[in-house]
Structure formats: structure tokens, C-alpha cells
């Protein structure tokens, strides 16, 4: 029985260390009650794999967010206390950093929200676990893109960017690389063991804990982002530029919802 269970666990991708732990617990249980019926090895292996895969997927969500925190804090400190001057607008480096930061923020926050909402779930559907994997991957991917921009910034690759503190940029890149590597390891482990339970992933309304249409939420969030950017433009005495950027960012939010809504579990019927 235990040998058969071990083979089923191995076939489902359960790590060796966890298999040994399960084996020891069952052997101890049988030592106390030799006549105990442990059930069907296949069903038992599936239960163990589903529960462990759920825990790993949840950790991937939390891990991606926590991995991005050191990079985000050091990145903000870098640009708060140093100066960057560009001789052309927009700089390719500027676009790379902006896109990377936005992807990291969106992916990390979405991963955190779904992981938090599923914090008490024992088993989640395979579709739900994959949503967590995708969100974590998006956040970490944005972090990697930001890392590349920081390295190019520190190395002086872009001649149109003048940077007076390359050592700080290298330090920020090193901090981010270490934290992203740790988050990536958590995601890789989670992706190797996905639950097989049936069901669909929920949408953005589940993340926010509200009873509203995901489409209405997308328009509300896009409107809020546009409003904040427009107000910032007024405060900076450049209302026209602020309005243009507000409309652009609002449309980008809606485009992202339309393109990535299902893979990221923002709309109903997420991809399996």
C-alpha cells in the first residue's frame, strides 16, 4: 500500500522530501493500527497532490509579491535621491523601466489579492492555481524587465541618459536580482505541481470581495487611474499633458483587461 502510494505521488510530481514525510507518517500510523484501511492509493495520492499543489500555488502568489517589494522600495529610493537626465524624449530606457514597473506592480498586486482570498482554501481547481501562476509570472517578468533597465542604466549603455550615481543603480539591481531569484524559485516549484481538481477560476470581483461585474470594475479602475493622472497634471501646472497621459493610461488599462482578462482571472471563464 505505502509503496503503491509512493509511486502515485512520484507520478504526480510530489517532491521527494514531501513523499518521505508522508511515508513516515503513514508508517507510524500503521505501526499504531496495523489493520487501518488507508484507502485507494490513487485517490489518496490525488488528495495529497491537490492539497500540496494548492499550498504551492498560494505561496507563489505571496512569494511573487514579497520578491517585488525589495526591488520596488530600492527602485523608488534610487530615483528619489538621485538624478537622471535624458537628452531625448522619450528615452528607450525610460519606456523600458516604465513598462517593467507597471507590469511588476499589476502582476504582484493581482497575485497577492488572489492568494489572500484563497488563504483558507484546502484545495483549489487547477484553473485557479494556474491563474495564480500566471499572475506571479507577470509580476516577476515585470521585475526582470525593470532589472534589465537598471543594468543598462548603470552601465551607461544609453548615450542619451546621463546618470551621476551608477553605484546606486548597481546596488538596486543586485537587491532586485536576489529577491527575484527567490520568488522565481517559489514559482518554479509551484508550476511543477498543479492541482487537478475540476472547476473554474473566479474573476476580479472575487479578488476585491465585491458583487459587481468585472467589466464595470475594469472601467471604474481605468477611470480612477485616469483621474489620478489628470489631477497630477493639474498640480504640476501641465493640465494638457496630464489629460493626454490620463486618457492614454486609462485606455491601456482597458486594453490590458481585454487581452489578459481571462488568462489572469480578471474575467469569468479563465483559461484552463
Q: pLDDT, tens digit, for every residue of 115-150? A: 999 999 999 999 999 999 999 999 999 999 999 988
161: enclosing H helix or E strand: strand 161-163
What is the reported pLDDT for 93?
65
Q: What φ, ψ does residue 139 adopt, rounded to 5°? A: -65, -45
Question: Exposed, middle or buried by CB within 10 Å (0-12, 13-18, 19+), for 25?
Answer: exposed
Chain center to CA of 8? 30
What confidence tier does 66 reach under pLDDT thresholds 50, 70, 90?
very high
The mean per-residue pLDDT over the stretch 21-48 comes to 80
- Which pLDDT tens digit goes with each residue over 2-22? 778 888 888 888 888 888 888
Cα angle 41-47-48, degrees, rounded to a multiple of 5? 90
- Please list the residues that pair with 86 across neighbouring strands: 161
272 pLDDT band, cuts 50/70/90, is very low
- pLDDT score, position 110: 96
Q: 210-247, pLDDT tens digit by residue? A: 999 999 999 999 999 899 888 888 877 778 777 888 88
What's the angle, vertex CA 229, arms to CA 203 and CA 97, rounded to 5?
A: 80
Element spanning 13, H or E: none
The confidence score (pLDDT) of residue 86 equals 55
pTM of structure: 0.87
Confidence of residue 160 (pLDDT cuts 50, 70, 90): low
Q: Are 253 and 225 in contact (CB under 8 A)?
A: yes
- Side-chain half-sphere of 110: how many Cα atoms within 13 Å? 30
The pLDDT of residue 10 = 85
What does the DSSP assignment read for 68-100? Answer: HHHHHHHHHHHHHHS-EEESSSS-HHHHHHHHH
Amino acid at each position: 500500500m505505502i509503496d503503491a502510494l509512493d509511486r502515485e505521488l512520484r507520478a504526480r510530481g510530489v517532491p521527494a522530501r514531501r513523499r518521505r514525510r508522508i511515508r513516515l507518517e503513514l508508517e507510524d500510523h500503521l505501526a499504531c493500527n496495523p489493520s487501518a484501511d488507508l484507502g485507494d492509493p490513487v485517490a489518496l495520492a490525488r488528495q495529497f497532490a491537490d492539497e500540496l499543489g494548492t499550498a504551492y500555488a498560494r505561496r507563489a502568489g505571496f512569494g511573487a509579491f514579497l520578491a517585488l517589494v525589495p526591488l520596488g522600495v530600492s527602485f523608488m529610493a534610487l530615483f528619489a535621491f538621485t538624478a537622471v537626465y535624458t537628452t531625448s524624449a522619450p528615452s528607450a530606457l525610460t519606456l523600458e523601466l516604465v513598462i517593467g514597473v507597471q507590469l511588476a506592480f499589476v502582476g504582484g498586486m493581482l497575485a497577492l489579492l488572489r492568494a489572500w482570498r484563497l488563504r483558507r482554501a484546502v484545495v483549489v481547481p487547477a484553473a485557479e492555481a494556474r491563474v495564480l501562476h500566471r499572475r506571479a509570472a507577470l509580476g516577476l517578468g515585470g521585475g526582470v524587465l525593470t532589472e534589465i533597465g537598471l543594468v543598462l542604466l548603470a552601465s551607461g549603455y544609453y548615450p542619451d541618459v546621463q546618470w551621476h550615481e551608477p553605484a546606486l543603480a548597481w546596488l538596486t539591481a543586485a537587491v532586485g536580482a536576489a529577491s527575484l531569484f527567490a520568488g522565481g524559485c517559489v514559482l518554479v516549484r509551484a508550476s511543477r505541481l498543479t492541482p487537478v481538481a475540476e472547476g473554474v477560476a473566479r474573476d476580479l470581483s472575487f479578488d476585491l470581495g465585491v458583487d459587481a461585474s468585472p467589466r464595470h470594475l475594469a472601467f471604474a479602475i481605468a477611470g480612477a487611474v485616469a483621474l489620478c493622472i489628470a489631477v497630477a497634471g493639474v498640480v504640476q501646472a501641465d493640465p494638457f499633458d496630464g489629460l493626454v497621459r490620463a486618457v492614454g493610461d486609462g485606455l491601456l488599462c482597458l486594453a490590458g483587461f481585454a487581452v489578459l482578462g481571462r488568462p489572469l482571472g480578471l474575467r469569468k471563464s479563465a483559461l484552463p
